[in-house]
Structure 1
Amino acid sequence: MTTINLRPWQADCANKAMDWLQAGEDRHFLINAAPGAGKTICASVIAQRLFDAKMIDRVIVIAPRTTVVNQWADEFKFVTGRAMLKITGADDDPENYGVDLCATWSAIQSSLDGLQAVCRKDRTLVICDEHHHAAVEAAWGDGANGAFADAQFTLILTGTPIRSDGKESVWLAYDDQGLIDHPEGGTYTLTYGEAVDLDYCRPITFHRHEGKFSVKLDDGENISVSGTEETQFSAGLKRIRGLQQALDYYKLACTPKYLPSGAADTNSYQASMLEWCIEKLNDLRLRMPEAAGLIIAPNIPVAEYMADLLELLDGEKPVLVHNRVSNPEGKIAAFRNSKKRWIVSVAMISEGVDIQRLRVLAYLPNAQTELYFRQAMGRVVRNFGPQDDSRAYVVMPTHRVFEEYARRVEAEMSPAKLRPSDTPDTKVCPDCGAECPKDETSCQICDAEFPVRGPRMKTCEACGSLNTLGAKDCQSCGEAFGHDFEISLNDALRVGAIIRGMDLDEEEVQEGEAVRDVFRKGVLSSGDDQLIKILKHLPEESYGRLARMFENNQ
């Protein structure tokens, strides 16, 4: 067993759980803590204390997917020193093993009788991770309820306790409004906003990304579709069945665009999203050389398209994981421990998957629920260590539903306490970790050369000449790089940010980014402690609005 310095919330939660379970009023304890706050470590500590108190004989953990099962086994052994058998398929019988177990939700369905026998034979602590999977009316919930009805104790772990479909989960009571009504004494809650204030999670900024699509119909008529304006249909077009659904803005935002050669088009909406993400990741890696980005795609074809775009735009082939690639769990584990920049996923990196260095998320999911939204943002807010001063960023299509979710996340944070990331005049050496001036080409301590990212190039299909990716026409022959599509993209741009309770338009955001360095340098060089203190609470995206206020008052 390892001695662990617990975060204050983990220590308070473990003490509260022990008091509740030892009192014997209810054998269920609920830990409702933000993704990335450290629920796995906390639950493992509670398990160890129950072992020490001679209150349990075994532990069974249920987790959402194989990657999370592997993480559980590693962290549980780190905390308790006890090996944990991992069950991820239907071939293992838990009755045959006298050890602690960790299984996926799907795997336990074939072992319900064996798990029930274990709970009846031994005093068992069941740790139910991502509890929203266990809906009462769903098969997994029914199975879990029967298999673990005789467990000695149950720890219920969640970061998103309310299911988007409104179904209730087993082992918890609900009030008339559908909210969890578990006793306060048996519950520990830590919101995302609280986790940010306490520096357990990184603060997050949501960037809306608008695209204006011009859809050319068979009769030659063009229809304009965007995320900020209502699509106008003539009376005749309204009568065409399925047309409005086909021209849904989000559907168009998830539609790949290809060149006549079959290559991914770098002038597409998705490419414009990725260009912003690449630029932001480049900035982040000055301070956090390990920082990485995640692309969540709605399906495999779009994921493959995004992976091709990333290789064209960023010069590095990303890791691609979905249920049809070989060994996706191994690829995720390898990416976690590497310094590769990007990973593209279809439903493989969501709840519970811990890759602490992820900081940028391009969000184009299939599911549009708040539960999935919060689980996805939880992938990029995990703290990387005591020196981590980074922010997390999500770029998402302009979409009313996503914006509502983002504003609710923002509402949880306390602007008075939230410290946005600083943008110091130094960068971190990726080899030795030394702080170096931003304009240095090599480290002053270890002489390691800083990587230089040159402009990415594309080849003109007409004459074969190389051009920068952003070029609209070939510099050699003048051939236009734009192409006609049956559904073509006229324009793609960011349309502002939602951050710390402010709704900024894109012009303000760009102004803030333009004056950021000058503004910060002026305040820091003034030596005025009060001004510097104020600066620490201002997100850089708001500097443009502040500058406008000064200009208007002159």
Structure 2
Amino acid sequence: MQRTIRLRPWQKAALDQFVESAGPDFLAVATPGAGKTTFALTAARHQLAGSPGRLIVVAPTAHLKLQWARAASAFSLHLDPSWSAADGSLPRDMHGIVTSYQQVASSAPLLARLSRDAFIIFDELHHAADDRAWGAAIREAFSESSRRLALSGTPFRSDTRAIPFVAYRGDEAVPDYEYSYGDALADRRVVRPVYFPATNGQMEWSAPDGSLHSATFDDPLGAVRAGQRLRTALSLDGEWLPTVLRAAHARLTEVRREQPDAGGLVIATDQEHARGIAQLLHSRFGATARVVTSDDPQASAGIAAFAASSDPWLVAVRMVSEGVDIPRLRVGVYATTTSTELFFRQAVGRFVRWTRGVPRQRAWLFIPDDARLRLHAARVAEQRRHSLRRGDGVVNDAGDGDERELGTDDQMSLFAAISAVATDPTGLGDDEFLDDEDDVGADEFELTLAPLPPLAGVADVAAAVGEPVLTRREEKKQLRDATAKVARELARRAGLTHAQVNAELNRLSGVQRVSEATVAQLERRFAAADRWLAKT
């Protein structure tokens, strides 16, 4: 069956450049929310149609592994997001796998065998520099691949750890195609304009050496004291954070009058901080908040549940800073001590995804009026103002600043916040906006996808591109669960062990290892169990 997909102009231009590129490596840098996944999977379809082979996606987090697999299913590309080295070879009805940078580091030799002549997609490739061993593992695992497509949501640099398969000019990575936030705003109907209400305040704290300090965000401080000031502002015991949460909740309440499912996100400093913020939202404003933290095995399910709901607030630490797709997010609070521009832009990216049919799609990220964060926000705002054809100039410029995580000196356990009082936020962005009631953006291009070589196991019936579908892994799990339920009843009726029942079902269906079985084999296995049960 012939299938088509509609591409935005930048996606079509990037795809054309990818197709024309002669080298094995291609780096595309595109602003969050622009549609990097659609571009990459369209490129994968093109590549596999012409050069049949495996497809391997490397993603930063477990949640994004599942997100990639589901997106790929809509392109009739079947990827296993739960693959591990213990699974052995891939089933014949799978195009490939989605793995993580951490898994690559521990399974590089096996991945090197799987990836020979494969097409590789690196999602947010700058994560390869997060750990010293990851870069070497990536090179070992994927050097023999036929082609590698790297994606990033923001330009990145590697001061000490060069990332494999990336071209550099000095320390700066050189993209083969770049599509900025400003470009996306200018195209209209791609991303939202984000505004940054910045809140000042008077903070008092006791430093680890016992000295007492008092400062506003306007007072010039060194990096260590600036970190202590920010940590004081974000303290659960002061009044700065509740004041900002009140303003953000009021803004979200207003937005929800026009978009009832609009959501808010608070990015917290750590797990205890996240839980405390959720309690503040409930006790002060009667607002319910879902908390997702990395120590919760159901965190990915919690994010997915929030994305599909109309709940008002999500509180998280780093889990939703990058790549997680929750288009209904309209209001955020930046309540973390992490100050790097890369992390800040990743956080901004959670709020920019434009949604068809929703008018006046502004978004707001409430930030401390810290010099570093103010500068990052000003750089984003400058792109926004230029694209919306307003005045020139960067406001609230704050100098270069230190790009490390704030408040990480060795004696932070001796640090104590004494008080924090907020002033009114500035820069709400109520007037600086061009009306967007119409639903007209840049023209899209319709592209016919080349047919893929057939896979073994089942007929390839897929939903239209963009529709939510089960991954093949999820389809198989449903079949295994259904068979297991019948097998338990068989064991009870026949007086056999579960191992004996499963061994017989494998024999009847021609399955050697359930983990390597195709959908067709699992369907035969379930049918065999059903027939056996009917005779028992």
Instruction: State TM-score, norm by structure 1.
Output: 0.68
Amino acid at match of 1:14: L
Larger helix proportion of the pair:
2
- Root-mean-square deviation (Å): 3.0
Native 8 Å contact 2:239 2:420 kept in 1: no
What residue is the counterpart of 1:171 in the other structure? Answer: 165
Amino acid at match of 1:536: L
What residue is the counterpart of 1:344 in the other structure? Answer: 315
Select 2:51's aligned residue among 45, 52, 55.
55
Q: Does 1:192 align with 2:187?
A: no
Q: Does 1:491 align with 2:491?
A: no
What residue is the counterpart of 1:205 in the other structure? Answer: 195
1:215 Cα deviation (Å)? 4.4
What residue is the counterpart of 1:536 in the other structure? Answer: 434
Give the secondary structure class of the aligned counterpart of 1:87.
Answer: coil
1:310 Cα deviation (Å)? 0.8
Q: Does 1:251 align with 2:246?
A: no
Query: What is the alpha-carbon distance in structure 1 between the residues aligned to residue 52 and residue 227 of structure 2?
Result: 57
Change (3 A) 1:164 1:365: farther
Query: What is the alpha-carbon distance in structure 2 between the residues aligned to residue 494 and residue 390 of structure 1?
Result: 24
Deviations 1:200-220 (A, max 9, x none): 1100111111121244899x9
What residue is the counterpart of 1:12 in the other structure? Answer: 13
Deviations 1:30-82 (A, max 9, x none): 11100111000111011111222x22312100000011111111111112x12
Select 1:64's aligned residue among 60, 64, 83.
60
Change (3 A) 1:50 1:210: same
Native 8 Å contact 1:196 1:418 kept in 2: no
Matches within 5 A, 1:409-424: 409-413=380-384, 415=386, 417=388
Change (3 A) 1:406 1:231: closer
Native 8 Å contact 1:197 1:418 kept in 2: no
What residue is the counterpart of 1:464 in the other structure? Answer: none
Change (3 A) 1:163 1:361: farther
Matches within 5 A, 1:374-453: 374-413=345-384, 415=386, 417=388
1:342 Cα deviation (Å)? 0.4
Native 8 Å contact 1:67 1:329 kept in 2: yes
Q: Does 1:295 align with 2:269?
A: no
Give the secondary structure class of the aligned counterpart of 2:351.
Answer: coil
What residue is the counterpart of 1:129 in the other structure? Answer: 123
Query: What is the alpha-carbon distance in structure 1 between the residues aligned to residue 285 and residue 73 of structure 2?
Result: 39
Q: Give ranges in structure 1 of 5+ residues lacking alignment.
A: 233-241, 258-266, 421-485, 500-512, 517-533, 539-554
Select 1:115's aligned residue among 90, 93, 111.
111
Matches within 5 A, 1:63-82: 63-79=59-75, 81-82=76-77
Amino acid at match of 2:77: R
Select 1:38's aligned residue among 35, 39, 42.
35
Deviations 1:107-141 (A, max 9, x none): 22232112111223xx3100000010123982111
Amino acid at match of 1:9: W
Give the secondary structure class of the aligned counterpart of 2:324.
Answer: coil
Query: What is the alpha-carbon distance in structure 2 between the residues aligned to residue 309 and residue 93 of structure 1?
Result: 48
Instruction: State TM-score, norm by structure 2.
Output: 0.70
Query: What is the alpha-carbon distance in structure 2 between the residues aligned to residue 297 and residue 88 of structure 1?
Result: 31
1:3 Cα deviation (Å)? 2.6
Matches within 5 A, 1:186-335: 187-199=176-188, 200-215=190-205, 223-230=213-220, 245=225, 248-257=228-237, 268-335=239-306
1:336 Cα deviation (Å)? 0.5
Query: What is the alpha-carbon distance in structure 2 between the residues aligned to residue 399 and residue 246 of structure 1?
Result: 8
Native 8 Å contact 1:164 1:371 kept in 2: no
Change (3 A) 1:2 1:357: farther
Give the secondary structure class of the aligned counterpart of 1:359.
Answer: strand
Select 2:327's aligned residue among 328, 335, 356.
356
Amino acid at match of 1:250: L
Give the secondary structure class of the aligned counterpart of 1:111.
Answer: helix
Percent identity, aligned pairs only, is 29
Change (3 A) 1:107 1:415: same
Native 8 Å contact 1:132 1:158 kept in 2: yes
Query: What is the alpha-carbon distance in structure 2 between the residues aligned to residue 277 and residue 374 of structure 1?
Result: 19
Query: What is the alpha-carbon distance in structure 1 between the residues aligned to residue 211 and residue 156 of structure 2?
Result: 45
What residue is the counterpart of 1:524 in the other structure? Answer: none
1:309 Cα deviation (Å)? 0.5
Amino acid at match of 1:11: K
Query: What is the alpha-carbon distance in structure 1 between the residues aligned to residue 308 and residue 100 of structure 2?
Result: 23
Change (3 A) 1:348 1:487: closer
Deviations 1:407-446 (A, max 9, x none): 12123335364599xxxxxxxxxxxxxxxxxxxxxxxxxx
Q: Give ranges in structure 2 of 5+ residues lacking alignment.
A: 392-415, 437-536
Select 1:181's aligned residue among 174, 177, 182.
174
Single out whichever of 106-115 and 70-79 deviates more from structure 2. 106-115
What residue is the counterpart of 1:26 in the other structure? Answer: 23
Greater RCO, 1 or 2 (C-alpha within 8 Å, sep 6+): 2
Change (3 A) 1:136 1:147: farther
Query: What is the alpha-carbon distance in structure 1 between the residues aligned to residue 226 and residue 390 of structure 2?
Result: 43
Deviations 1:228-256 (A, max 9, x none): 12479xxxxxxxxx9x7498211212222
Select 1:142's aligned residue among 118, 136, 144.
136
Query: What is the alpha-carbon distance in structure 2 between the residues aligned to residue 72 and residue 231 of structure 1?
Result: 43
Single out whichever of 130-139 and 201-210 deviates more from structure 2. 130-139
Amino acid at match of 2:199: H
Change (3 A) 1:487 1:68: closer
Change (3 A) 1:88 1:414: farther
Change (3 A) 1:227 1:166: farther
Amino acid at match of 2:173: I
Change (3 A) 1:487 1:358: same
What is the number of residues matched between the two proteins?
A: 408
What residue is the counterpart of 1:84 in the other structure? Answer: 79
Give the secondary structure class of the aligned counterpart of 1:496.
Answer: coil
Amino acid at match of 1:280: R
